[in-house]
Amino acid sequence: MKLILRMNTALCAFLGVLLALPVAAAEPVKIGLVLPMSGPFAGYGKQIEEGVRLYLKQHGDAYAGRKVVLIVKDDTGVAPEVSKRDAQELVVQDKVDILAGFGLTPSAFAVAPIATEAKKPMVVMNAATSSVTTKSDYILRTSMTLPQVTAPIASWAAKNGIHKVVTVVADYGPGHDAEEQFKKTFVAAGGQIVAEIRTPVKNPDFAPYLQKVKDTKPDAVFLFLPAGEQPVAFMKGFAERDLAKSGIKLIATGDLTAETALDAIGAPALGVITSFHYAEAHNSPENKTFVDAWYKAYGPDRPDFMAVAGYDGMHLIAETLKKTGGSTDGDRFVEAAKGMKWVSPRGPISIDPATRDIVQTIYIRRVEKVGEKLQNVEFDQVPDFKDPGKP
């Protein structure tokens, strides 16, 4: 009897090992992507998801022996309650290991407490208000922050004969960050802000704001609008009202001239100067490989900064999995991701271990016609630039 019992125990232990080992090794890493896949910001979801998938296509879809599985949930844009519900479902029903995506700031803000509570790594691939990374210790960001991409254009303006500026920003987190940083850097360099205008995030009509700019007669307008439809509409109005003809320059963060919008903006984009972290025309071997692979997979659609943030977000996840031996334990994963460094299609980047935010080169660019296409052509840069919006 005793012998049988002992044999049974041994058998159970043996079976247990047999069952546990291969199952654990084959357990996929589930990544839940919360993204706007419909509505006015659907382009963000498309670019980010395609960026993530392109990385997997080029580098393989298994890391530290674990296959990566993507589960995409549409949060429809600026709808924090939908983002929150999506993330809850991903954690509770789909049992994802990692949350990622986040096209807009309200979405990232809404999901941060869920990442904290569930102790899940949360990789932000666009939402760019500086404070996003302070909302949970589990957040890592591979996109940018608005103060980071704004300060360089403010310095450039002050050095290039622009004295009086009207700021025009979307009235929410990233717009407020852009307005504050532009003012801080530009005024410190001797410039003057003559008016500050905030436009609604949802369905803005730019006509009255453009008229106010025209009446104020500044040397330049500094603009931040969320990439996509709004920049196209603003640029059309800017051209129709002859603001450029009346001598008002337009400077902006590169959200305005994202490659996905350039063709729709057309000629009025020519000559516009922006500062940003990614241009399709960025001249490097890493970007050439990325852009070639992109067109092969998705052409004729153009890649923009969101595609690269998705691609780099997937790189960060893949390399961190290798470091943790496949563990997605929130604390271990985030610790391992801190300080990660690599050469992105945009140039050299790293994850600041103190803030979990991205450090990167910001380029000053001018829209020019290159061959048949309008491109952001880089002509100056600020290397290794940390988010100046952090205390």
Q: Figure out which of the listed residues 50, 75, 255, 378 binds ligand PHB, where binding follows CB under 6 A.
A: 255
Contact between 381 and 363 (Cβ < 8 Å): yes
HSE-CB of 99 using CA atoms within 13 angstroms: 35
Least distance (Å) between residue 102 CB and ligand PHB: 8
Least distance (Å) between residue 248 CB and ligand PHB: 23
Q: Figure out which of the listed residues 35, 54, 104, 139 binds ligand PHB, where binding follows CB under 6 A.
A: 104
48 or 158, CB closer to ligand PHB? 48
106 or 218, CB closer to ligand PHB? 106
121 or 173, CB closer to ligand PHB? 173
Task: Please confirm whether the linkage preceding 300 is cis (ω < 30° from 0).
Answer: yes
Measured in degrees and rounded to the nearest 5, phi and psi for residue 16 equal: -60, -45
Question: Per CB under 6 A, which region of 25-33, 125-133, 239-247, 265-273 contacts ligand PHB?
Answer: 125-133
| CA–CA separation, 203 and 201 (whole Å) | 7
Q: Figure out which of the listed residues 47, 129, 133, 185 binds ligand PHB, where binding follows CB under 6 A.
A: 129
Q: Draw the binding track, 200-239, toward ligand PHB (x: CB under 6 A; -: no contact).
A: --------------------------xx------------
Q: Which residues contact 242 (CB under 8 A, 6 or more apart)?
A: none
Per the listing, tokens 């025309």 go with: 281
Structure tokens at 317: 């996840």
Task: Decide if residue 127 touches ligand PHB (CB under 6 A).
Answer: yes
Question: Per CB under 6 A, which region of 57-65, 126-134, 279-287, 383-391 contacts ligand PHB?
Answer: 126-134
Least distance (Å) between residue 327 CB and ligand PHB: 30
Contact between 195 and 219 (Cβ < 8 Å): no
Question: Per CB under 6 A, which region of 22-30, 121-129, 161-169, 319-327 contacts ligand PHB?
Answer: 121-129
172 or 333, CB closer to ligand PHB? 172
Least distance (Å) between residue 335 CB and ligand PHB: 26
Task: Decide if residue 75 touches ligand PHB (CB under 6 A).
Answer: no
275 or 320, CB closer to ligand PHB? 275
Nearest-CA neighbor of 360 among 260, 277, 284?
277
Q: Which residues contact 295 (CB under 8 A, 6 or more apart)?
A: none
Structure tokens at 39: 């509505």
Q: Figure out which of the listed residues 99, 128, 139, 210 binds ligand PHB, where binding follows CB under 6 A.
A: 128
| CA–CA separation, 56 and 54 (whole Å) | 5
Task: Decide if residue 105 touches ligand PHB (CB under 6 A).
Answer: yes
Structure tokens at 283: 């001249």
68 or 364, CB closer to ligand PHB? 364
Measured in degrees and rounded to the nearest 5, phi and psi for residue 211 equal: -60, -45
Least distance (Å) between residue 226 CB and ligand PHB: 3
Residue type, 194: V
Task: Decide if residue 45 touches ligand PHB (CB under 6 A).
Answer: no
380-381-382-383 Cα dihedral, nearest 10 degrees: -150
Least distance (Å) between residue 101 CB and ligand PHB: 12
Interacting positions 265-284 with ligand PHB (CB under 6 A): none
Residue 333: CB atoms within 10 A of its CB come to 23
Give strand ranges (E) for 200-353.
220-224, 249-253, 273-276, 341-344, 347-351
Q: How far is CA 266 from CA 165, 262, 369, in A?
A: 24, 6, 10
| Interacting residues toward ligand PHB by CB under 6 A | 104-105, 126-129, 174, 226-227, 255
